[in-house]
C-alpha cells in the first residue's frame, strides 16, 4: 500500500506543477497579509504613485474582496436558511434584509469604523476589518436573496427523497439544498462581488470626523491620484482594476461556473457547456486527487491497498519513459521554483508606502 501511495504521489504532471506554484504564491500572500494586519495601526497609509506599487495594492484589495465574500457566504447560509425554513423568522428577517440593502455603503461607515477601532486600537486589524465589512455590505444582499429564493423553490420531491434516505438536516442542507441553489448562488455571487468593487474607493479611503483613513489598495491609489490631479495614476489604477477583475474571472469564476453546471436541473441539456482550463487543472492534478481520496478513508484504502497487475508491455513502456519524465519534470520544477523565488524577491523589494 505504501508503495502504491508513493507511486501515486510521485507521478507528477504539468497540472501538479501549476497547483504547487499556486500554493506557493498563496502561502506567500498569506504571510504578506499577516505582516500587514499585525503591524502597528496607521490611520493614513502613505500611498506610492509608482505603477510597480500597484502590484501589492492590487493584492491587498483582492484579498479584502475575497475575505468579504467568505463572510457573505457564511451570512447567506445562516440568514437565508433561517428565513426560508422558519415562517415566523421569515416575517421579520426578509423585511430587515430589504431595509439593509437599501442603505448605501457610506451609511454603515461611522458605526463600523468606530466599532472596529475600539475593538482593535493598537493594530491595523480594526481598519482592515472595517474596510472588509463595508465591502461585505456591497456584496451580500443579492447573494442572500438568491439563496433564500432557491430554498423556497426546491421541489418537494427532492426533500421527500432526502427523508426517505434518512438524511439529517445537516446532510440535506449540503447534499440537496446547497447544490440546488448553486447556479443562482454563483451568478449572484458574481454580481455581488462586482458591487463590492464598485465601492472600493470608498472602502479604502474615507474621512470620518475630520480624520482621514487610508488603507493600501487600488481604491486608495485612485483616490490619491484623483485628489492630486495625477491623470496617469488614475489611468494606471483603472488598468490594475481591469486586470484584477479579468484574473478573478479566469482563475476563480469560470471554474466555478463550469463546475456548477452539474447542479442544473434541466430536462434538455444546454448546447454550450462552460469550460475552464483551471477546472481541468484541479481535476487532473495527482496531488489533489490523492488528498481528495484521503478524505474518504474507505475509498482511499480500496484504491491504494490493492496490488496492480499490468501487462509486461505496459511495464516496459513505463520503464522506458520513466527517466525522461523524471528529467523533464525536474527541469520544469526547478524553473518554476526559480520564477517563484524571483517573484518573491521582486515583490519583497517593492515599496508600498
Domain's final residue, options 207, 242, 275: 275
**Residues 313 and 255 placed together within one structural domain of the fold:** no
305 vs 207, higher pLDDT:
207
**Residues 70 and 142 placed together within one structural domain of the fold:** yes
Look up the pTM and report it.
0.79
Please tell me the least confidently modeled range out of 115-119, 270-274, 326-330.
326-330
Domain's final residue, options 275, 292, 311: 275
Domain of residue 203 covers 40-275
CB contact set of 180 (below 8 Å; sequence gap of 6+): 150, 154, 158, 263, 265
Nearest-angstrom CA–CA distance, 267 and 270: 9
Q: What is the pLDDT of residue 334?
A: 64
Q: What is the pLDDT of residue 346?
A: 54
Please tell me the least confidently modeled range out of 10-19, 89-98, 162-171.
10-19
Say if residue 9's pLDDT is above 60. Answer: no
Closest by CA position to 56, among listed 254, 192, 218, 188:
218
**Residues 169 and 181 placed together within one structural domain of the fold:** yes
**Residues 133 and 227 placed together within one structural domain of the fold:** yes
**Residues 62 and 191 placed together within one structural domain of the fold:** yes
* 126-151 tens-digit pLDDT: 888 989 999 999 899 999 999 999 99
**Residues 265 and 334 placed together within one structural domain of the fold:** no
CATH number at residue 197: 1.10.3720.10
Q: Which three cell numbers stand for residue 261?
A: 453546471
**Residues 331 and 207 placed together within one structural domain of the fold:** no
Nearest-angstrom CA–CA distance, 222 and 220: 5
Q: What is the mean pLDDT of the chain?
A: 80
Q: What is the pLDDT of residue 328?
A: 54
Q: What is the pLDDT of residue 263?
A: 85
User: CB-side exposure of 181: number of CA atoms within 13 Å?
Assistant: 28
Cβ neighbour number for residue 65 with a 10 Å cutoff: 24
Q: What is the pLDDT of residue 221?
A: 93
**Residues 248 and 126 placed together within one structural domain of the fold:** yes
Nearest-angstrom CA–CA distance, 144 and 126: 25
Q: What is the pLDDT of residue 104?
A: 85
Once rounded to an integer, what is the mean pLDDT over residues 66-77? 94
Domain's final residue, options 217, 244, 275: 275
**Residues 226 and 321 placed together within one structural domain of the fold:** no
Which residue's entry shows cell 472602502? 203
Report the share of the chain in percent with pLDDT over 70.
76
**Residues 161 and 137 placed together within one structural domain of the fold:** yes
DSSP 307: P
Say if residue 341's pLDDT is above 50. Answer: yes
Length of the chain: 353
**Residues 156 and 239 placed together within one structural domain of the fold:** yes
**Residues 325 and 290 placed together within one structural domain of the fold:** yes
Q: Tell me how many domains the chain contains.
A: 2
Q: Report strand pairing: 211-214 vs 205-208.
A: antiparallel
Amino acid at each position: 500500500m505504501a508503495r502504491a501511495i508513493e507511486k501515486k504521489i510521485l507521478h507528477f504532471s504539468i497540472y501538479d506543477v501549476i497547483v504547487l506554484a499556486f500554493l506557493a504564491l498563496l502561502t506567500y500572500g498569506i504571510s504578506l497579509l499577516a505582516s500587514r494586519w499585525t503591524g502597528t495601526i496607521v490611520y493614513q497609509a502613505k500611498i506610492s504613485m509608482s505603477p510597480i506599487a500597484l502590484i501589492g495594492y492590487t493584492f491587498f484589495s483582492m484579498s479584502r474582496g475575497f475575505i468579504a465574500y467568505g463572510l457573505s457566504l457564511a451570512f447567506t447560509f445562516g440568514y437565508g436558511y433561517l428565513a426560508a425554513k422558519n415562517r415566523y423568522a421569515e416575517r421579520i428577517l426578509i423585511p430587515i434584509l430589504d431595509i439593509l440593502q437599501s442603505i448605501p455603503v457610506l451609511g454603515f461607515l461611522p458605526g463600523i469604523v468606530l466599532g472596529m477601532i475600539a475593538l482593535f486600537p493598537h493594530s491595523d486589524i480594526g481598519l482592515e476589518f472595517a474596510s472588509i465589512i463595508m465591502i461585505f455590505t456591497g456584496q451580500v444582499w443579492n447573494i442572500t436573496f438568491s439563496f433564500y429564493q432557491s430554498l423556497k423553490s426546491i421541489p418537494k420531491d427532492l426533500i421527500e427523497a432526502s427523508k426517505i434516505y434518512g438524511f439529517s438536516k445537516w446532510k440535506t442542507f449540503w447534499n440537496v439544498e446547497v447544490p440546488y441553489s448553486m447556479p443562482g448562488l454563483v451568478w449572484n455571487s458574481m454580481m455581488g462581488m462586482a458591487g463590492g468593487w464598485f465601492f472600493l474607493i470608498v472602502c479604502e479611503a474615507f474621512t470620518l470626523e475630520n480624520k482621514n483613513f487610508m488603507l493600501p489598495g487600488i481604491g486608495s491609489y485612485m483616490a490619491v491620484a484623483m485628489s492630486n490631479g495625477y491623470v496617469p495614476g488614475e489611468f494606471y489604477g483603472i488598468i490594475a482594476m481591469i486586470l484584477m477583475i479579468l484574473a478573478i474571472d479566469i482563475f476563480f469564476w469560470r471554474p466555478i461556473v463550469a463546475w456548477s453546471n452539474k447542479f442544473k436541473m434541466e430536462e434538455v441539456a444546454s448546447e454550450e457547456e462552460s469550460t475552464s482550463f483551471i477546472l481541468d487543472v484541479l481535476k487532473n492534478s495527482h496531488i489533489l486527487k490523492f488528498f481528495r481520496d484521503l478524505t474518504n478513508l474507505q475509498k482511499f484504502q480500496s484504491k491504494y491497498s490493492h496490488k496492480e497487475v499490468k501487462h509486461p508491455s505496459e511495464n516496459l513502456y513505463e520503464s522506458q519513459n520513466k527517466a525522461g519524465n523524471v528529467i523533464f519534470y525536474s527541469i520544469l520544477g526547478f524553473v518554476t521554483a526559480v520564477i517563484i523565488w524571483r517573484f518573491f524577491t521582486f515583490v519583497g523589494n517593492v515599496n508600498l508606502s
